[in-house]
Amino acid sequence: MKSDPTKLNQLELAAYEIKFENFIKMCSEKDIDVAAISHRYVLGDTAKEFDESIRRLKNAGLKLSIAQENRIYECAELDGLEF
């Protein structure tokens, strides 16, 4: 079975979970509905990391506020964000 080139493999996922530990904790908070970040690049250094961050935001049902863009993205809009 061929792996999906847009998703992190096991080694990449382990590194992602260390690198983005605070982001992952924020996504698991029960008392927030908007994840606030300064810039889009905070979501990842690569397209795969970016996509993983978007997936986690969507799974948590969170909106995303990007200060540099002065915009709040609804959960349904997250698929349209690009790296």
The owner of tokens 């096991």 is 10
Question: What's the whole-model pTM score?
Answer: 0.85
Q: Is the pLDDT of residue 2 over 80?
A: no
- How many Å apart are CA 12 and CA 30, to the nearest integer? 27
**pLDDT tens-digit profile of 39-80?**
999 999 999 999 999 999 999 999 999 999 999 999 999 999
Average pLDDT over residues 33-37: 93
pLDDT at 9 over 80: yes
pLDDT for the residue 29:
84
Residue 9 tokens, joined: 């493999």
